[in-house]
Amino acid sequence: MRRHGSVVGVLLAALLVLPAAAAVKPRVVLVLPFDTSALDRDSLWMSEGVAQLVSLGLAQHPAFIQLDRARLRTVGRPEVWGEAAVLQAMKALRADAVVWGSIVQQGSEIVVEPKLLEARSGGAPETTKLEPVTVPEGEFLARAATLPVAYARTMKVALTPAETRRIEKAAQPTKSLKAFELFARAEMAVQRGGQEGNEAAVDLLSRAIEADPNFVVAQYTLGVVHQALGNRWKAAAQFRASTQLDPQYPEPFKALGDLFLAAPRRLFDQAVEAYQKAIDLRPFYADAHVGLGDARAAKGEVDAAITAYQKALTYDPVNPRVHMSLGKIYYAEKNLYYESVNAYRKAIELDPVSVVAGT
């Protein structure tokens, strides 16, 4: 009984200290590449480009939990995301909403036709067509950057002026269209996966950074790809470069925490510091809370780890990694076998492929 009481106390404490952002009911959103099949070959990168801008913008608000597109491996990735494929992905991944659409050519202008598929309680999902965005030549970044706010408002998420500015700023990560095109092509290569795709992404991202050395998102992404290739030191260098270019960007701090946590020299204190910095910058950054929980668990701080995991679940209840971590700590440290089984079962239900691969 004392063990149960201890865990309950930890969970109650976690709920009491949650910031105001937790009051926002999160919505599970899947952002898909837009259909560019009507464009010429040189413009196909806009498919991923629009998706990346929307994703960067929505990441700034706690109302949106973005599903990792890697989870689409369970349903496949068609060449073109038509309505039937979008609906299948929504149901398979249990998303509340799917961001998608098409991009067409009209004379000398590009027109982005955004769509939103939303789940409805007790009824079939409904598609909403947002106002098309006309993009004159040379204005892709400025016009496409308006989409995240448009999607947020279509989903009836109230935005303060400060939140609107933050989303719009994040959706314009560079002023160089050439740098952004290279970045989008790199993301397409990453989505293909494998050694060849990652190596192609390194080349494209390096060229994007040459075009705009202040392109922080590209600097950080290059670090992510180096990490995937096993180039730990190059990854760390890119993450540190990102933090120096923009100390307010939380992703590279979280990534440094991951590197510290996996280091052979057991750099757990440095990992805690890095994760905490990411959380300070974005309190609803669920993956940073998970990392903090893992670092606390590695240090033997079991109750603090559980608190971090529970905060992560508050911001992202469909994150399989959190449930896996809770299952491990309940079993190994608390002897709470029933709770452990439930946590593992939830993780497998959310993403069976990654959970099996990680065990």
Instruction: Give the pLDDT confidence of 211-229 residue by residue, as tens digits.
Output: 999 999 999 999 999 999 9
Cβ-proximal residues to 307 (8 Å cutoff; 6+ apart), any chain: 10, 11, 13, 14, 293
Q: Specify the range with the lowest mean pLDDT, choosing from 1-15, 45-59, 66-80, 328-342.
A: 1-15
pLDDT category at 170 given cuts 50, 70, 90 is very high
**The CATH number of 23-172 is which of 3.30.460.10, 3.40.50.10070, 3.40.50.300, 3.20.10.10?**
3.40.50.10070
Dist CA 276 CA 296 (whole Å): 11
Residue 24: what pLDDT?
Answer: 63
Residue 354: what pLDDT?
Answer: 59
Domains in the chain: boundaries: 2-21+179-358, 23-172
pTM above 0.95, yes or no: no
In terms of C-beta density within 10 A (0-12 exposed, 13-18 middle, 19 or more buried), how is residue 279 classed? buried
3-state secondary structure of 32: coil
> What value does the mean pLDDT take over residues 128-138?
94
Residue 76 has pLDDT above 60, yes or no: yes
3-state secondary structure of 61: coil
The pair phi, psi for residue 246, each rounded to 5°, is -145, 95
Dist CA 272 CA 261 (whole Å): 9
Tokens standing for residue 102: 């098409």
Distances (CA, A) of 120 to 82, 101, 123, 127, 336: 20, 19, 5, 10, 37
> What value does the mean pLDDT take over residues 12-28?
54
| CB 28 within 8 Å of CB 97 | yes
Q: What is the largest CA-CA distance in the chain?
A: 72
Residue 35 has pLDDT above 60, yes or no: yes
> What value does the mean pLDDT take over residues 20-41?
83
Q: For domain 2-21+179-358, give the CATH number.
A: 1.25.40.10
Distances (CA, A) of 351 to 21, 236, 309, 346: 26, 28, 18, 9
Percent of the chain scoring above 70 in pLDDT = 91
Tokens standing for residue 80: 């073109």
